[in-house]
Homo-oligomer: A and B are copies of this chain.
């Protein structure tokens, strides 16, 4: 699984030192941790600076407000491109994507996403940046898996964008957000074997 992010443009708006892109990653990680810990309402620019171990001026030079900073972080995350390992089989490719979703759900990004869910409806700028949230990233990863399987003749074309494509990951999302139960790789295996593969075989197999 290869994860890449679009390189942010290096700006130096006040003619000072050029921005250090590696520092952006540190700041974004600090924002995710704070969102998970205290939520958007209690997050402050000063706390982000302290958590990231950078000067306040570094934060304020790039973002005028807390909303700018969080919206920018969400936008960067949603631009993530995940390239699922090409295992040569639909079943194992799907398993890899489902496992990577499990990892994201259980990591800092999962906790930060949950913290944002109650907030995005009240802040249009955040809602716009949030868009489909991590689901958009996962949808694109599935899209690559579908395209390979179509090329191998394992799937009929046209699956991407359908409700069936959405349904492949939906049980993970539901369990994560709505229930108190852990989302594990074992659960992902159940979703793969009992939901995803039967659904695809039913209507999306080459002979369907």
Q: Which A residues fall within an 8 A CB radius of B?
A: 39, 41-42, 111, 114-119, 121-122, 127, 130-135, 162-164, 166-167, 169-171, 173-175, 177-181, 187, 190-191, 194-195, 198-199, 201-203
Contacts and interface: CB of A to CB of B under 8 A. Distances in A.
A135 B178 CA distance: 7
B190 A132 contact: no
Which 8 residue pairs across A and B have the least CB separation, nearest first?
A170-B170, A118-B118, A198-B202, A170-B174, A132-B179, A173-B174, A167-B195, A170-B171
Identical chains in the assembly = 2
A177 B117 contact: yes
Nearest to A131: B180
Contacts of A163: 171, 187, 190-191, 194-195
A127 B115 CA distance: 14
Contacts of A191: 163, 167
A179 to B, nearest CB: 4
Q: Tell me which of A114, A164, A166 has the highest count of chain B C-beta atoms within 10 A of its own C-beta.
A: A166
25 contacts: A39-B41, A41-B42, A115-B118, A117-B177, A118-B118, A131-B179, A132-B179, A132-B180, A132-B181, A133-B179, A163-B190, A166-B171, A167-B191, A167-B194, A169-B174, A170-B171, A177-B177, A177-B178, A194-B203, A198-B198, A198-B199, A198-B203, A199-B199, A199-B202, A202-B202
A136 to B, nearest CB: 8
A115 to B, nearest CB: 5
Given A115-B118, A118-B118, A175 B166 contact: yes
Contact of A195 (B117, B121, B131, B199): B199
Nearest to A41: B41
A119 B118 contact: yes
A75 to B, nearest CB: 14
